[in-house]
Amino acid sequence: MKRIPIIETTEKTGQLVKLNGWVHSRRDHGKIIFIDLRDKSGLIQIVFLPENKEIYQLANALRPEWVISLEGKVQNRPKGMENPKIPTGKIEVAVEKLEILNQAKTPPFEISEEKEINEEVRLKYRYLDLRRERMKNNLILRHKVVKFIRDFMNDKGFLEIETPILTKATPEGARDYIVPSRIYPGKFYALPQSPQQYKQLLMVAGLEKYFQIARCFRDEDTRGDRQPEFTQLDIEMSFITQDDILNLIEELYIEIAEKVAHKKVLQKPFPKFTYKEAMEKFSDDKFDLRKEKDPDVLAFAWVVDFPLFEKTETKELTSSHHPFTAPKDGDLHLLKSNNPKDLLKIRSWQHDLVCNGYEVGGGSIRITNPKIQSRIFEILGHSKEEIHRKFGHLLTAFEYGVPPHGGIATGIDRLLSILADEPNIREIMAFPKTGDGRDLMMSAPNEVSPAQLKELRIKAAK
C-alpha cells in the first residue's frame, strides 16, 4: 500500500490507509492507547485497541518522537471527542498494522508544546526545533514566498541568473569573508556581500532584466538581528526610471502580502518620503506608519533622495548607499568641488523600502558614466592605482556601451520575519547562526588541520 500524507485522510473515511511519521504524543485511557501521529502535513489521532494483542503490545512501547509506519482504517471519532483545532479533528485511524522504523532518545525539550526554550539549546538541536509546528510553518511560508517571487519575476520577463560565490574583495560597506586560494598562494577570493557589480555587468551584457535569490555574506560585528549569511531578492533592469523599480516592487510586495501571507497593506500605492522629510517627521529613515502596531497590517513606505555621501565617525566621507549610486542630475555640478560641505549636499537616486519600522530593501539608479564613477572613487579616497586595481573591470566594461540601469535588493529574511510576526530573522531561517556568528549545531567556526593550513601556506595566529 502506498503511503499518503496525514492531511489526505480527511477524504478517506471508511478506507484503509498507510501513514508514516513521528509519535507526537501518547495518551493511555483505560486499556486503549492513543497517539497523535505527525508528519509534515499535520497531525492525526491513532487508536490501538487491546483486541489485537501483537500490535497492542508493540504500541505499548511507543514513546514521543519514535518514527513509525502503520496501516489502519479511517473512522469518525466518537461524538464529543472531536478536536476542532486541527483539520483531522473529526476522524481517527484504528490501527491494523504497525512497524517501528526507528526509536528516539528523549528530546532535550518538548516538541509537542510551545514553551519558552533556551535559544542556544534550540540552535544546538535545530533539527528537533524544526519539528515544532511554529518553525515548520515558518519554513513553509518561506518556500511559498520564494516560489511566488520566482513565478512573478518570470511572468514579468526577468531572467534568473546565478552569479559567483567566489569573487573579488571590493569595499561595499562591511568586511568581506575571504577564502584562500591553494593554487595561487597568498591570494584570496571573497564571498560576495551582494552581487552588485555582477548584476551591473549583466546589464552591460544586454540581458536587460535580471533577478536572483542571492546568498550574501558580511563579516560584521556581533548584532543580534543580523546574520553573517543571508538571502536577498536581487534585481537589476536596463532602460528604466526609478519609478519603474518602485512600481515593480510595490506590485510584488502587495501580492505577497495579500495572496501569500493574507495580510492587509496599510496604504496603496506606498507613500513616499524624501530622506529630509523622514528625518524631520520621524527622526529616522526606518519608521512605522501603523498607529495600533497590528502585526497583520503592513505599512510599507519609500524613502528617496538620500544624500550621496555621509561622514564616518572619523569625519571622512563615505557612500550613503554604495559607490555605484548615481547622483541627482541637478546636483552633478557639486561633484567638481573638493569642499566636504558641498559634497554632502549632493542628493542621490537611492531608494529604500521600509515596513513596520524596518528597512526591507534598498537600491538605486546606477552611475553609467566612467568619468563620474571615477570621480566618486576619488572623493572616497581611492588613488588612481586603487581604482584600476579594484574596479578596473567595471570601468572598462562601461567603455563598451552601457545602458542606463538601476535596481534593488530586498531582504527576504527580514520580510519573512515581518510576515510571520517573528521578533528575529533567526526564526525564519532553517539553520541560522547565533548573534555572535556561531553555528552551535555544527560547531563552526572550527580549527582546521595543520595539513590543510600547510597546503594553503597559512599560519594560524593563536
CATH number at residue 93: 2.40.50.140
53, 87, 102 - which closes a domain: 102
Tell whether 43 is covered by a domain.
Answer: yes
Phi, psi of 383 (to 5 degrees): -75, 165
Q: Is 267 annotated as a binding residue?
A: no
Domain with 238, as residue range(s), is 127-306+348-368+403-450
Q: Residues 297-312: what's their mean pLDDT?
A: 96
Low-confidence winner among 165-179, 275-289, 317-331, 427-441 (lowest mean pLDDT) = 165-179
pLDDT the model gives residue 171: 62
pLDDT the model gives residue 172: 56
CB 65 within 8 A of CB 104: yes
Tell whether 336 is covered by a domain.
Answer: no
Whether residues 131 and 270 fall in one domain: yes
Domain harbouring 420, CATH code: 3.30.930.10
Angle, to 10 degrees, between the axis of helix 384-397 and the axis of helix 196-204? 40
Q: Residues 77-100: what's their mean pLDDT?
A: 96
Q: Is 413 annotated as a binding residue?
A: yes
Whether residues 141 and 218 fall in one domain: yes
Tell whether 323 is covered by a domain.
Answer: no
Q: Residues 101-110: what's their mean pLDDT?
A: 97
Q: Is 321 annotated as a binding residue?
A: yes
> What confidence tens digit (pLDDT) does each residue in 184-240 have?
999 999 999 999 999 999 999 999 999 999 999 999 886 767 899 999 999 999 999
Whether residues 77 and 10 fall in one domain: yes
CA angle in degrees (0–180, nearest 5) for 29-30-36: 25
Q: Residues 100-121: what's their mean pLDDT?
A: 94
Tell whether 87 is covered by a domain.
Answer: yes
Whether residues 143 and 97 fall in one domain: no
Q: Is 393 annotated as a binding residue?
A: no
Tell whether 143 is covered by a domain.
Answer: yes
Tell whether 383 is covered by a domain.
Answer: no
Q: How many CA atoms lie within 13 A of 274 on its CB side?
A: 7
Whether residues 78 and 134 fall in one domain: no
With pLDDT > 70 as the criterion, what percentage of the chain qualifies? 99
pLDDT category at 272 given cuts 50, 70, 90 is very high
Q: Is 218 annotated as a binding residue?
A: yes
Number of domains in the chain: 2
Tell whether 335 is covered by a domain.
Answer: no
Q: Residues 352-374: what's their mean pLDDT?
A: 96
Whether residues 92 and 226 fall in one domain: no
Whether residues 234 and 195 fall in one domain: yes
Residue 133 grid cell? 509546528
Whether residues 148 and 228 fall in one domain: yes
Pairing of strands 159-160, 209-217: parallel
Whether residues 278 and 187 fall in one domain: yes
Q: Is 172 annotated as a binding residue?
A: yes
pLDDT the model gives residue 65: 98
Whether residues 62 and 193 fall in one domain: no
Q: Is 359 annotated as a binding residue?
A: yes
Q: Residues 22-31: what's their mean pLDDT?
A: 94
Q: Is 29 annotated as a binding residue?
A: no
Q: Is 36 annotated as a binding residue?
A: no
Amino acid at 274: T
Angle, to 10 degrees, between the axis of helix 133-155 and the axis of helix 242-255? 140
Whether residues 139 and 92 fall in one domain: no
Q: Is 392 annotated as a binding residue?
A: no
β-strand partners of 212: 234
User: CA separation (Å) from 178 to 155, 222, 368, 390?
Assistant: 37, 18, 29, 15
> What confidence tens digit (pLDDT) does each residue in 394-432 have?
999 999 999 999 999 999 999 999 999 999 999 999 999
Residue 203 grid cell? 546589464
Q: Is 220 annotated as a binding residue?
A: yes
Distance CA 76, CA 10 (A): 10
Residue 41 grid cell? 502535513
pLDDT category at 323 given cuts 50, 70, 90 is very high
pLDDT the model gives residue 460: 84
Tell whether 432 is covered by a domain.
Answer: yes
Q: Is the pLDDT of residue 462 over 80?
A: no
With pLDDT > 90 as the criterion, what percentage of the chain qualifies? 90
Q: How far apart are the first and last CA of the chain?
A: 60
Q: Is the pLDDT of residue 38 over 70?
A: yes
Whether residues 164 and 257 fall in one domain: yes
- The mean pLDDT value of the chain amounts to 95
Q: Is 227 annotated as a binding residue?
A: yes
**pTM to 2 decimal places:** 0.94
